[in-house]
Amino acid sequence: MANQPKSHGRLAIRPSLKPRELMVDRPELAGAWQAKVITLFPEAFPGVLGLSLTGRALQEGLWSLETIDLRQFGVGKHKNVDDTPTGGGAGMVMKPDVVAAAFDAAAENTPPDRQDWPLVYVSPRGKPYDQATAERYSRASGMTILCGRFEGVDQRVLEHYQVEEISIGDYILTGGEIAAQALIDASVRLIPRVLGNTESAMEETFTHGLLEHPQYTRPTEWNGRTVPDILLSGHHANIAKWRSAQSEKLTKERRPDLWRAYLNDRDPDGDQEL
């Protein structure tokens, strides 16, 4: 079940004639979150996912990454994965039969339930990626991501496999690999034990629907600018109130859309003053 806690931390056990150290270079933990990425450029991974906290968590087996080379499913002598758009137009479109074969390969040993194993195509026309979606993905057993190229993917294969289209912003990239890494990073960091500090995730931007308050550290005075006195007072209740007020102020100024949603969540029938 997708809502049940997973057994992060216990080694997965599978029968094999090979010693484990000869099969993998990192432990594989039972219940670990998995990411499968279908791409024409598997060498792009893990990329930044292999660094810092996500990289350490990958090495420790808290999550796993598998790349699936789309080219191996290509058609003909040259392993073509795309064709001209029906009806005319510029560019090329990824073929449905090729993408379907990749989806079928990725589906091996994965739950059929889309809630427990989302199938995602990163696309500029998709639903905007947000913190709530990252949290939903992190609670699943894993996910499969298709990295687009060219002009897009044949619509029929997206509909047939109930693919969720996700966008990371209103701009165009040359391919979906960067976007896929962003989706995975935002989800993996929410997995238990990855951050190491659960309070950090609770206080982050978007967690409560608001932008994060300003942050300060030592030295108290730098370049003629000082840390706000309230943060030096030691009065934690007043500091919390100040930070909350700053979050509201920044959200109202910079993200009116988030501010309207925040007000609506607090008082659905109230006046939404901007």
CA angle 141–171–202, rounded 5-degree value: 45
| CATH node for 205-266 | 1.10.1270.20
What is the reported pLDDT for 65? 98
pLDDT at 27 over 70: no
Each residue's pLDDT tens digit, 234-251: 999 999 999 999 999 999
**Arithmetic mean of pLDDT, 181-189:** 97
- DSSP letter for each residue of 214-262: P---S-SEETTEE--GGGGS--HHHHHHHHHHHHHHHHHHH-HHHHHHH
Residue 261 CA to its chain's centroid (Å): 22
* Dihedral (Cα; 164, 165, 169, 174), 10-degree rounding: 130
User: What's this model's pTM, rounded to 2 decimal places?
Assistant: 0.81
CATH tag, 10-188: 3.40.1280.10
Confidence grade of residue 30 (pLDDT, cut at 50, 70, 90): confident
CA dist., res. 187 & res. 86, Å (int): 36
What pLDDT does 196 receive? Answer: 77
The three-state secondary structure class of 39 is: strand
The answer to whether the 10-188 and 205-266 domains have the same CATH topology is no
Residue 202's pLDDT band (cuts 50, 70, 90): low
Average pLDDT over residues 156-182: 97
Residue ranges of domains in the chain: 10-188, 205-266
Q: In this structure, are strands 164-167 and 29-30 parallel, antiparallel, or unpaired?
A: unpaired
The whole-number pLDDT of residue 209 equals 85
54 φ/ψ sector (left φ>0, alpha ψ -120 to 50, else beta): alpha
Task: Please say if the pLDDT value at position 106 is more than 90.
Answer: yes
Q: What is the mean pLDDT of the segment spanning 136-157? A: 96
| pLDDT (tens digit per residue) in 60-69 | 999 999 999 9
**Strands lying side by side in the sheet with 142-147:** 63-69, 33-39, 142-147, 119-128, 164-167
Query: Is there a contact between 42 and 68 (Cβ–Cβ < 8 Å)?
Result: yes
pLDDT at position 25 is: 56
Q: Average the pLDDT over 161-190 and give the result.
A: 97
With cut-offs at 50, 70 and 90, classify the pLDDT of residue 270.
low
DSSP string of 97-133? HHHHHHHHHHTTTS-S-TTTS-EEEEEEEEEEP-HHH
